[in-house]
Amino acid sequence: MGIPEYWIVDYAALGGRRFIGNPKQPTFFVCELIDGEYQMTSFRGSHLIVSPTFPQLNLTAQQVFDSVC
């Protein structure tokens, strides 16, 4: 469908260890369409979320998790 970017917020750390680490931890993903394939970048804890669609975004993964729970 050509969606340039989407996000996955795994605040309950339910994803596979391959994606969210071992031990499992809440993870925020930015998935960006590059050359027809999605590239996933993960953010955890106090890491600032980087979004090509929203370059002015100034949130950490933990701030998002705190607002969801």
pLDDT digits (tens, 9 = 90+) for 35-56: 999 999 999 999 999 999 999 9
pLDDT at residue 69 in the model: 60
Locus of tokens 């933990």: 62
For all residues of the chain together, what is the average pLDDT? 93
| Cα–Cα distance for residue pair 25/6, rounded to 1 Å | 20
Asked if residues 59 and 48 have their Cβ atoms less than 8 Å apart, the reply is yes
pLDDT at residue 38 in the model: 96
Six-digit token pair at 54? 């929203």
Please compute, for residue 57, the number of CA atoms within 13 A of its CA located in the half-sphere on the CB side.
15
pLDDT at residue 40 in the model: 95
